Amino acid sequence: MTFELGVYTFGNTPRLASGRCGPTAHAIRDALEAIKLADEVGLDYFGVGEHHMRAMPLSSPTSLVNAAAAATNRITLSTAVTVLTTDDPVRVYQQLATAASIAPGRVELVAGRGSSAITFPLFDYDERDYDMLYSSKLRLLMAINAGENVTWHGPHRTHPLQGVTIFPRPEQPLKIWLGTGGSPESVYRAVEFGLPMFLGILGGTPEHWAQYGHAYRSAWAQAGHPAEQADIAVAVHGFVADTDAQARSTYLEYEHRMMAEGMAELGRPAPPPGARAAAFERGGMVFVGSPNEIADRILHLHGLLGHSRQILQMDVGGMPHRDVLHGIELLGTKVLPQIRAELGAP
């Protein structure tokens, strides 16, 4: 197994001198610049998440994946996640199949239910249908991805599909991951659907998340799926700087701002300053430090969880773009070579 390392973003709107958010369009251009740099420094993966907030305005991940497909050469590109509950699986497939036609073999999809209810009124859905919408749309997406001449009916559609082929068709099917924040129900749903699992992690400990890996693989084996297809990836908050002290002081400030702004937009109380400091330590799941520290902590988690991919969200809370770019450069040129050398991978 080749361990893959990468970055993900929800967009990071720059701040004005007053501290207020600047133009959200800058966040989209900055994200594309970060993707191109990640490709240049040898990282394996860049994930484009979906949020609908002024501070994190990347609301159309498939659009940016298409732009990045034309602007990069080797890196794997993916949504991280697509909020499938309130999106159209036909259009999601068409948009990502277009990107995969531009960048063959380099486009994937992480399908998630969503971490908040903000998209339900935005796209005119009933939040009470949350689980039905996700399950039905995921089944349709998988059917479209599997082949042509799709005949399908489900509870989220008024009209069934009868022998329909969705175009364009890339040379190979898209890899679809089930994205989850770690609910036991989602772990078993990934097994039920026969999908690799992408864990979005904000807290806990490496030992805690290792239990999810064991549960997933155990259920996978009981379901009779091929063992080599039981794939796990991890998305965490994290940041790389030249020294541990520099990384921690920088990221703690901007992550707290991100949390406070996000909670305010959702009408929830913000965590107190410093509340996340314990998560930055080795027993936590925020991967912040120098290249050596980050490599050691990723290898430790890999030893417990056996995951094949880890990605970090570094551009949080209006962190200056130059700091984000430097972190990406260190991740590709300093952290990844250490991990590859330790695991004996090419």
Which residue(s) pair with 45 in the sheet?
6, 76
What pLDDT shows up at residue 346?
Answer: 58
pLDDT at 265 exceeding the cut of 80: no
Average pLDDT, rounded, for the chain: 95
What are the C-alpha distances in Å from 241 to residues 38, 202, 249, 285, 305?
16, 20, 10, 17, 25
pLDDT at 115 exceeding the cut of 80: no
Instruction: Report whether the peptide linkage leading into residue 92 is cis, meaning its omega lies within 30 degrees of zero.
Output: no
3-state SS assignment for residue 69: helix
Q: Which CATH number fits domain 4-343: 3.10.180.10, 3.20.20.30, 3.40.309.10, 3.90.1150.10?
A: 3.20.20.30
Would you kindly state where each structural domain of the chain is located, as residue ranges?
A: 4-343
Q: Which of 25-29, 170-174, 238-242, 266-270 has the lowest mean pLDDT?
A: 266-270
3-state SS assignment for residue 286: coil
Average pLDDT over residues 152-163: 97
- Please report the sign of the dihedral spanned by the C-alpha atoms of residue 288, residue 293, residue 295, residue 297: negative
pTM of model > 0.75:
yes
Which residue(s) pair with 177 in the sheet?
110
Alpha-carbon distance of 272 to 313, in angstroms, equals 21
Q: Which of 109-123, 124-138, 164-178 has the lowest mean pLDDT?
A: 109-123
3-state SS assignment for residue 129: helix
